[in-house]
Structure 1
Amino acid sequence: MNKKSDNPYENLERIFHEPKRLAMIAAIAESEAGLSFSEIKEACELTDGNLNRHLKLLEEEKIVIAKKAVSGNRARTIVRLSAAGRRKFVKYLEALELALTQAAQSMGSKSKSKASVLKGVTA
């Protein structure tokens, strides 16, 4: 076995693993059209500054695409996952699932169902 499959924690990308960024990506991933800045802010309970900081990091990593658009008299920022960001997030979720499964097994989990929580998720 290679090192990555022996240690699932190595595949837990830090860019996703921070709790507020994980919440943001999960919320954004639910909407194919993306979410507005204010929708993300409300859903994840973030301040403007905190959300801006996280979005900047996610944009630098090419995980999200933020586009400014004018709606009526107001400027709106719409954020959506990039194709590469979606693929990276699915890989992260798979690694997280493996790490959690191994942790549950090491704790003697008696769960008979081994159905993947990612069933139906596509890249």
Structure 2
Amino acid sequence: MTEARFDELIHPSTRLSLVATLAATDWAEFAFLKERLGLSDSALSKQLTTLEEAGYVTTERRLDGSRRKVRAQLTDTGREAFHGHIAALQEIVAGATPPAARPN
């Protein structure tokens, strides 16, 4: 079971959305992430770099004909941080739910 641990690095909504998207895939193409998250090239690059420097994401750059393509993947460390963060958020939400409204 994953230890609940709030993660300040992935908590901002853009990074949380990015990590959640990567958690649902093996690899994701830059263009897909850009469209899905509604980010500019530079904004997405910045977020990926921040997560990569933390060891949460790995990127791969390759040539496809004459075009350079980038894809990203969540690392095991990133996946663990994401699951711990989600568990921490669930604990926070559960604490705000009246006992009578909590599922059994």
TM-score over 0.5 for the pair: yes
Q: Which amino acid aligns with 2:103?
A: S
Per-residue CA deviations over 1:70-120 (Å, capped at 9, x if unaligned) read 22332111100011111111111111111111122xxx2633425xxxxxx
Q: In 1, distance between residues paired with 2:69 and 2:63?
A: 6
Q: In 1, distance between residues paired with 2:23 and 2:102?
A: 30
TM-score, normalised to structure 1, is 0.75
* Inter-CA distance 66–110: structure 2 relative to 1 (3 Å threshold): same
Q: How does 1:58-77 map to 2 (within 5 A)?
A: 58-77=51-70
Q: Structure 2 regions of 5+ residues with no counterpart?
A: none
Match of 1:118 in 2: none
Q: Give aligned-pair identity as a percent.
A: 25
Q: What count of residue pairs does the alignment treat as equivalent?
A: 101
Moved over 4 A (4+): none
Q: How does 1:42-121 map to 2 (within 5 A)?
A: 42-104=35-97, 108=98, 110-114=100-104
TM-score, normalised to structure 2, is 0.88
Q: Which amino acid aligns with 1:18?
A: P
Please identify the structure whose Cα radius of gyration is greater: 1
